[in-house]
Amino acid sequence: MTRPEAPLTSRTRMSQVVLIACALAAFIAVTALASLLLSIAVEGTGSLSWKFLTSFASRKAASAGILAPLAGSVWVCAICAFVAIPMGIGTALYLEEYAKKSRLQGIIQLNISNLAGVPSIVYGLLALAVFVRCFGFRSGETPLSFSVDWSAMRILSPGDPDSLWFIQIPFGSGVLAGGLTLALVVLPIMITASQEALRAVPKSLRQAAEALGSTRWQVAWRVTLPAALPTMMTGAILSISRALGEAAPLLVIGGFLMVMQTPTNLMSDFTVLPMQIYNWSGRPQEEFHRIAAAAIIVQLAVLLTFNALAIFVRQSFQKPLQS
């Protein structure tokens, strides 16, 4: 005795409500992303020009550009990558290949997940004490400075501030301090990503190498590391793009908001794109919001390039490693 159009029972109706709620939630998330990108595109594209990319900051929005923050971001992220990538891979190798399943590994693992939860601004305080001030070394006096003259193979002291190899201790708030600060921030991410890459290497590869008489280091260096490298590089690129977007710890170490030159050595003053965006967004005038949006477009374009690079590396170098 079923009617041709049986009404939905309350249970199946409930089922549809849940489906609709879930789909709606996903739709809202996408809408948020779309409105964010659209509103920035609408606001910023008008100010985007070659001149915007190649001029320095200015008090007038119309003539301001992002050359200094662009150059600063490149310097700082290069230093960050140079420090954080080898350290992240080294730590991951130790945890996965040497200390596997030991108590030490458990403790360090917990510590790393704690570090990943520390707000980035707190890293700024650590960096301020350690890198910018070097624990108060020579505070109040002129800093110890030297520069390396590679052509004559000698060290000049006091150093020549115009030289590329000029170092000051304490470092002050230059690009070196900035890069090291960001390295601290992204190190936990880099370690976790490298660990996951190492874990994905099938055990049989290691066992084969061990059976042939390889030592631990030989297994790690010639077998697991090459196999895990593409995934690790993906993680590295994502870590660096995280560093590229950080502003808070750099504000704390005393990054500069108005910089009128590009860095020339490790001690140069710098600003980075997110700091410039912060500075312009915080002003009440509408025209500064427009150039802030233009700077955001540049920032997002760089990040998207990084992401595309990560996907490219993942897809073209990753060999299937199923045992």
Partner 1 sequence: MTSLPASTPFISPRARPVRVRLRAVFEWLMESALFLVTGLSVITTLAIIVILVHETWKFFTMRGADGQLLVPVKDFLTDSMWSPLLSNPPRFGVASLVSGTLLVTAIAAAFALPLGLLTAVYLSEYAPRRVRSLLKSLLEILAGIPTVVYGFFALTFITPNLLQPISGSFGTHSAMSAGIAVGIMILPIVSSLAEDALRAVPQSLRDGSLALGSTKAETILRVVIPAALSGIVASFLLAITRAIGETMIVALAAGGGVAQLTVDPAAQVQTMTAYMVQVFLGDAPAGGVEYQSSYAVAFTLFAFTFVMTWIGALILRRYREVYE
Segment 42 to 61, residues that bind partner 1, using CB under 8 A? 43
The stretch near partner 1 (CB under 8 A) out of 46-54, 102-110, 154-162, 164-172 is 102-110
36 binding partner 1? (CB under 8 A): yes
Q: At what angle do helices 67-93 and 175-199 cross, to 10 degrees?
A: 40
Main-chain phi, psi angles of 167, to 5 degrees: -125, 140
Start-to-end CA span in the chain (Å): 58
Residue among 141 and 162 whose Cβ is closer to partner 1: 141
What is the distance between the alpha carbons of residues 310 and 262, in angstroms, rounded to a whole number?
Answer: 28
Which span (46-54, 60-68, 155-163, 298-306) binds partner 1, by CB under 8 A? Answer: 298-306
Contact at 8 Å (CB) between 296 and 268? no
- The residue type found at 161 is P
Q: How many residues bind partner 1 (CB under 8 A)?
A: 87
User: Binding residue for partner 1 (CB under 8 A) from 98, 150, 312, 317?
Assistant: 98
Residues 6+ apart with CB under 8 A from 199: 96
**Segment near partner 1 (CB under 8 A); pick from 53-61, 62-70, 89-97, 313-321:** 89-97
- Among the listed ranges 63-71, 146-154, 228-236, 284-292, the one in contact with partner 1 (CB under 8 A) is 284-292
Q: Give the contact letters, 2-31, x = binds to partner 1 (CB under 8 A), - = no.
A: ---------xx-xxxxxx-xxxxxx-xxx-
Nearest to 298 by CA among 277, 282, 314: 277
Give the residue with the Cβ less far from partner 1, 205 or 248: 248
Burial class (CB in 10 A: 0-12, 13-18, 19+), 228: buried
Report 222-241 residues binding partner 1 (CB under 8 A). Answer: 238, 241
